[in-house]
Amino acid sequence: VQLQASGGGLVQAGGSLRLSCTASGRTFSSYAGGWFRQAPGKEREFVAAISRSGDGTYYADSVKGRFTISRDSASNTVYLQMNSLNLEDTAVYYCAARRFDSGNPQYTSSRLYGSWGQGTLVTVSS
């Protein structure tokens, strides 16, 4: 499956953005979806994941209560709604897809995903 991430941009602290990850080549609902991010000088880190059905979600502690991952099968897209953004959220955000899913998407390691999008930059300013 090929993934295309979009929706990044410049936002003030406290603001919101919604990222989109659209799949082509395969039906995205056949895959669990995930979002990761990489800040300058840091390693890529897990942000959120969603099961194939959309019933299961899992979040990093740093974004829990502020970010929401969701999916829409009709548009073949996984979303990441980001609210109450702070300076530490500045990073390149990557979406990913995982073929096998138990329904409990605690897929926090990047090695568990087989397909990746190109990344979209989110910059939070003070």
pLDDT tens for 99-115 read 999 999 999 999 999 99
pLDDT reported for residue 26: 83
C-alpha span between 43 and 107 (Å, rounded): 17
Helix (H, G, I), strand (E, B) or coil at 53: coil
pLDDT reported for residue 52: 96
Q: Which residues of 27-37 are buried (b: 16+ CB within 10 A; e: fewer)?
A: ebbebbbbbbb
Pair of tokens at residue 52: 């194939």
pLDDT reported for residue 104: 93
C-alpha span between 93 and 67 (Å, rounded): 13
pLDDT reported for residue 25: 85
Span 83-108, average pLDDT? 96
Q: What is the pLDDT of residues 3-40, one digit of tens each?
A: 999 999 999 999 999 999 999 988 998 999 999 999 99
